[in-house]
Structure 1
């Protein structure tokens, strides 16, 4: 492949990516104008020259596809932890997480400072039962250092046949020594509402563990079966809920807010990404007092719902400050088995707060007021700060050992 062919291939790849992801001519044209600038052409030319030099002169022969893939991953790594190239394994994992089940240990991870970090364990899974918590940094898998390893390679090592074991080492905030775990993989079933009941005959409790495609139907079913004329309150438990689909957050919030209320808005540079999501459910439970439980493992869609409830003065938020993931990712299919997941927007709560801590790049804390009539002061300080704060409590060495022994 000569230099001109490489430039053409790269240019076509860039354009094809956006066509496959959006299907909008306007967006394709906008990118085409940007890509035609002299500086962009020069930079692509530089890349093709370096590629050619490496391909023809490096001491070991390298596969062209691997070199291009590494270049793509390097580009995305410079953006943020959530913008990634998804090979067939990661793309399949994404489909499974929103639709089905898989074999693994039961955690959702991101990256921070080059290490995989637990966003939240999935309730009822091996990792959850052993006491792994949000914020745990995975430093080793099978005694192999995880620093600067790709997210797909980390996921591949953690996933596996149910019944097999995997050994990991974590570093936990507030604990000096690393903690070693031997975890037996199991089938990880993606269920949104594993538990719902009535407490003291008058208080409906709903445990919501994710915002997959079944979240709003399962919440609606629980409300429909448990709420009655004697119900005095609703408790929505979003602890260790790492989020999911923004449309499911919109629908879940719709059970508790008046129809046509703003739930969240998104703002970005991509055509069509600026959008206001409003409640759309026909059946609501707006006249019943409610409490939302959150912690540092409550992220993304969990923060959308809790932020909307707080902004509208609809209920009381109780727990620890949430994770602070206020960004939106769009999946651009690159073919039947691969895709680009790119951060395309930030989301804002109804009062205008952006609670993202990962993309802020500053320490500015803005103050807002709630819009439901009470005009309470609230902030955008990287996460949803509860109305009643119950700080995270560090586990004692005995509690950690008991958790590791699965007692």
Structure 2
């Protein structure tokens, strides 16, 4: 009733007094949601440049690279006939990730032996919300978390186990442009790093009478693992809570802006 009276008296300006973040959309307007990744597509692999070539450190299942038979450990020495050693990182990156439909020829050597010569087309999809790889020549692992959507916690557990089994003693967790996700998945993900039994975060509504505490049943399997968190201005919502919790547990150093 108060809102109705306010709208009758002051029009749309009254919305700000009830909710400063409220936005009015004219009837008939429909938002167009952007594709994941900002409309960009990829070939489905991650390369690590070293020694005049690029090592495939991650190939996403079901991606163009995977379907072409490229595997982690394969070496890429040229793209479209140009030596990787002479290519700036941005140019090499544009062959991996950019507008859909671009076709590039990757040549090099298979890890198992023999020549590699494949044409790959950038396509949408293929990259999971969580993925990682062991950084060559180091005892560090890299873990990318794009969002806390369904099954994120299970994927984190799987990727973390692979990184630690691969010899990593420190994990770089990339939360840049992580837009948030599900509270339940955030809680389950934090449980993996919790130092012991107890609350991990609390949700409080601006409306009286509602709050909920999410708690860990005990120490998580990755409690005590040294981590570095990468953040930026696109690290939002649930990702901010994740970063704050790990920092308060003295389990992480945060690098980057907010």
Q: Aligning the two structures, in what range does the TM-score lie when normalised by the shorter sequence? A: 0.5 to 0.7
What aligned pairs does 1:291-330 form with structure 2 within 5 A after superposition? 291-320=228-257, 322=258
Contact (CA 8 Å) 2:179, 2:237: kept in 1 or not?
yes
Offset of 1:291 from its aligned partner? 1.1
In structure 2, distance between residues paired with 1:240 and 1:88: 27
Unaligned runs of 5+ in 1: 1-34, 51-69, 94-103, 107-121, 129-182, 323-407
**For each residue in 1:62-101, what CA deviation from the matched residue of structure 2 results, as whole angstroms up to 9, or x when unmatched?**
xxxxxxxx96x9737962437788x9966x96xxxxxxxx
Query: Larger helix proportion, structure 1 or 2?
Result: 1
> Does 2:17 correspond to 1:81?
no
Contact (CA 8 Å) 1:255, 1:284: kept in 2 or not?
yes
Contact (CA 8 Å) 2:144, 2:175: kept in 1 or not?
yes
Pick from 141, 154, 166 the counterpart of residue 217 of structure 1. Answer: 154
Offset of 1:256 from its aligned partner? 1.4
**For each residue in 1:344-398, what CA deviation from the matched residue of structure 2 results, as whole angstroms up to 9, or x when unmatched?**
xxxxxxxxxxxxxxxxxxxxxxxxxxxxxxxxxxxxxxxxxxxxxxxxxxxxxxx
Contact (CA 8 Å) 1:211, 1:248: kept in 2 or not?
yes
* Residue in structure 2 matched with residue 274 of structure 1 by the alignment: 211
Q: Secondary structure at the match of 1:231?
A: coil
* Residue in structure 1 matched with residue 185 of structure 2 by the alignment: 248
Distance 1:276 1:88, change over 3 A: farther
Query: Larger strand proportion, structure 1 or 2?
Result: 2
Contact (CA 8 Å) 2:227, 2:251: kept in 1 or not?
yes
Offset of 1:197 from its aligned partner? 0.6
Offset of 1:216 from its aligned partner? 1.2
Unaligned runs of 5+ in 2: 43-98, 102-122
In structure 2, distance between residues paired with 1:209 and 1:198: 18
Contact (CA 8 Å) 2:195, 2:219: kept in 1 or not?
no
* Residue in structure 2 matched with residue 198 of structure 1 by the alignment: 134
Offset of 1:275 from its aligned partner? 2.3
Contact (CA 8 Å) 1:210, 1:243: kept in 2 or not?
yes
How many pairs does the alignment contain?
A: 179
What aligned pairs does 1:3-402 form with structure 2 within 5 A after superposition? 40=2, 44=4, 75=15, 79-81=19-21, 104-106=34-36, 122=37, 125-126=39-40, 187=124, 191-193=128-130, 195-199=131-135, 200=137, 202-228=139-165, 230-280=167-217, 283-320=220-257, 322=258
In structure 2, distance between residues paired with 1:188 and 1:265: 34
Q: Secondary structure at the match of 2:133?
A: strand
Offset of 1:305 from its aligned partner? 0.7
**For each residue in 1:311-336, what CA deviation from the matched residue of structure 2 results, as whole angstroms up to 9, or x when unmatched?**
2211111122x1xxxxxxxxxxxxxx
In structure 2, distance between residues paired with 1:45 and 1:205: 55
In structure 2, distance between residues paired with 1:261 and 1:273: 20
**Could you state the TM-score of these two structures normalised by the residue count of structure 2?**
0.54
Q: Secondary structure at the match of 1:227?
A: helix
Offset of 1:303 from its aligned partner? 0.6
Offset of 1:292 from its aligned partner? 1.0
**For each residue in 1:129-170, what CA deviation from the matched residue of structure 2 results, as whole angstroms up to 9, or x when unmatched?**
xxxxxxxxxxxxxxxxxxxxxxxxxxxxxxxxxxxxxxxxxx
